[in-house]
Amino acid sequence: MNANIEGIAHLESTTDVRALLDATALFGGLDDAVLTRLLPHVSLRWLGAKKTLYNQGQPGSSVFVLIEGSMKLVRRTGGAREHVVRLIRPGEVLAETVLFSSNGYPATAVALENSRLLEVDARQFAVSLRENPLLAWNVMERLGKRIEELQAQTELLATHTAEQKVAAYLVHRYRALSPSDAVVTRSCRRSDLASLLALAPETLCRVITEFKRRGWIRSESGRIVITDPKGLSGAAP
């Protein structure tokens, strides 16, 4: 398992880990036999706020599912400059590319707050993929969605205004939430969101202030809460 993880709490029982696996979109609905073979290779881990899960370029040994908390993926593009490429919410998968590539982790993963993750041994995961069509389909479906998101993000960053970028990102995250939730970012620094959207931090602050003035959102302590999704959607491209 990954040696970079800090703040590891006691591992939960096999029953608890199995229940968490079954509750995820990636592993839910798998045959009991598949889960039983996979369980010895799955751990439940705690990662403290601001701690690094893995580093860009490090040999990839595990795939992760975020269960609780929030994280960011950061790429170093030259020198010491870093760029946030993705913000991770519970239920999302990290490092699935190590199943198909030997190039190591493509980005550095850092916890934005205390987080809980399922860590799955990548080698055993790959064996399970070959044995179970449903699991393979789940992975393909998630990779397909990620490709769609990357294409949309590339177009958004290249062709739209700062207000449109921020509105589109917030609307996209809002639509992925459960009906009872309206918090699109948690423990997220403005500089991280600005980096993700290729904006200057002061530009993002200006847009957030304007959206708050219009009554579309409210924000405090790294949280952005959607208060008028219809109004916000009208500003998105």
CATH of the domain at 40: 2.60.120.10
Do the domain assignments include residue 59? Answer: yes
26 and 94: one domain? yes
| Local confidence band at 25 (pLDDT 50, 70, 90 cut-offs) | confident
Q: Which amino acid is at 168?
A: A
- Report the CATH number that the domain containing residue 205 is assigned in CATH: 1.10.10.10
| Domain boundary residue, one of 117, 143, 169 | 143
Kindly report the average pLDDT of the chain as a whole number. Answer: 84
| Domain boundary residue, one of 110, 143, 176 | 143
120 and 175: one domain? no
C-alpha distances in Å from residue 48, one per residue of 69, 108, 127, 133: 10, 15, 31, 35
Do the domain assignments include residue 3? Answer: no
Q: Does pLDDT of 226 surpass 70?
A: yes
88 and 24: one domain? yes
Which pLDDT belongs to residue 4? 47
- pLDDT tens, position by position, 145-173: 777 777 777 776 666 889 998 998 888 88
Beta bridge partners of 120: 42, 63
| Domain boundary residue, one of 143, 172, 204 | 143
- pLDDT over 90, % of the chain: 35
Which pLDDT belongs to residue 1? 45
105 and 176: one domain? no
**77 in Cβ contact with 62 (< 8 Å):** no
102 and 193: one domain? no
Do the domain assignments include residue 2? Answer: no
Which pLDDT belongs to residue 174? 85
Domain range enclosing 51: 14-143
Do the domain assignments include residue 150? Answer: no
229 and 177: one domain? yes
185 and 69: one domain? no
Which pLDDT belongs to residue 143? 77
Please state the domain count of the chain. 2
Q: How far apart are CA 161 and CA 196, in angstroms?
A: 14
Q: Sign of torsion, CA 68 236 206 215?
A: negative
* Average pLDDT of the segment spanning 76-96: 84
Q: Does pLDDT of 108 surpass 50?
A: yes
Do the domain assignments include residue 151? Answer: no
104 and 183: one domain? no
38 and 110: one domain? yes
